[in-house]
Every structure is written in structure tokens, then in C-alpha cells.
Amino acid sequence: MTQYKQLKLNFNKELADLLAAKISKVYINFAKQEFIQKVENNITDLELKQRIEVITDALHEFLPSEYKQAIKILSQILGPANKNETGMFKDGYWLMPVAFFVEKYGINDFKDSTTAIYEITQRNTGEYAVRPFLVKYPQEMLSLMLKWSADNNVHVRRLSSEGVRPRLPWAKKLEQFIIDPKPILPILENLKEDESVFVKKSVANNLNDILKDNYDIGIKVLKEWSKSKNKDTRWIIKHALRNEIERVNSEAHEILRNTL
């Protein structure tokens, strides 16, 4: 039997070695050993998010101080896109400090940061990195994510929904969408017939979030969608209503009956 390894334990000296080797190939002035030592000295006994931040901060220290230069270098080490719907944390985990680099240090560079997020999410995920940009640039970011919802890449489409979830686990709540989720509905509308289970789960979870704070808005969307004969839309409806079904919500049960 394969022994389970906590994700946080992957963020260690070996990961610093890996990043240093990749960066050194495209940036010859990278202080490889100093970077590795910095990470090793500061990562012991930390939890996952803290470990990621240690590595991210070390990248910031040893890469060029100009963000545009730094993110250009990091964008060159991403490697090939993930062609599968799985593996974003199993194979692409090592990119989490790169995603956090954009989130923490790239907030004042909308274009270069969103371009980087677009590429990162095809290998790991940009669902956390996009959130501060949604707060600072709400209209620009929503327009971009609406565009992403029609992208050919399944990871990008999934990000367009997952990134705007009002209550995404392990992330700061997006209060603007807890107060009023209507701005994100066009994105979900674009995805309601997506054939990817990866995307459908995100859309359903997004609607489940909406139901928690804006029940009337969420249930209205699901009632409208229940008129559809599309099997993927019906799958989303069933998954989105799971909590309401557990609560024996008669309105939710009626919607499900309409989709049979």
C-alpha cells in the first residue's frame, strides 16, 4: 500500500532545488545556493500556506526586483500544459509558489499578472491568485473571466467559475459577490452546458455558494436552468442543490423532479 504524503511536505529543500535548477537555466544570475539555503533555513515546522509563502518570498528576494522581469523569468519555467483534468496538485504542485508570487507581488500589473495566471492555471491553478485582482479590478477582471469561460482549455474555463466563487475553500471570501452575486451569473451561464466534469463541479459549487447567502437569486437561476433538457445542465443542478436536498427543501425537490 502506498503511504499517504501530506501536500505540505512537498514544499521543502528538494522543491527549492527543483525551482533553482529551472530558474538557473533561463536566468544565469540567479543565486541558486543562496535561494536554496534561504528556503531550507525558514521552512521547518511550518504549515502548507506558510511554506509556500517562504518559497515565494525567497523567489522575490533573488529574482530581479522589477516585477515584469521576474514574472517573465518565472513564466519560462512553467513547462508543458496539463492535458488532463486531474494532476493539478499531484504533478503541478510545485507551481503553487509561482502562483502565489503573482498574487502577492503582481497586483499592480494587471496585464502581465493575468497573462501569467492564464498560463499557470493550465498547469496548476490560478483560483487563489485571481481573487485580489477581482477586488482591485472588478470590472476588468470579470470581463476577462467571462472571456475565459469560453476558452478552449478546460482548466481556464474551470478557473473562470472557481475563481469567482464567493466562498471558495482555503481562500478569502469575495464579499462583493456575497453581497451581490449577479455579476458572476453570465460566467455561469456560459458554462452551464460544459461537458467537463471538472468544470461542472465548479459551476455547481459556485451555485451552492450563492444559495448560502442569496438563496432567491440562486434558486431562480436553477429554476430557469431546470427547463433545459441538456444532461450537463441537469447534472449541475443536482449537484448544486445537494445541501438543500439534505435539508428536505421542498422547492429544491420540485426543481429536481422537473429535471427527471
Here the cell at position 150 is 469560453
The pLDDT tens digits of the residues spanning 95-138 come to: 999 999 999 999 999 999 999 999 999 999 999 999 999 999 99
Q: Read off the pTM.
A: 0.94
Q: What are the sequence ranges of the domains in the chain?
A: 1-164, 189-260
* Helix orientation angle between 215-225 and 197-213, rounded to the nearest 10 degrees: 140
The pLDDT tens digits of the residues spanning 173-214 come to: 999 999 999 999 999 999 999 999 999 999 999 999 999 999
In whole angstroms, what separates CA 162 from the centre of its chain?
6
Half-sphere exposure of 122 (CA within 13 A, CB side): 16
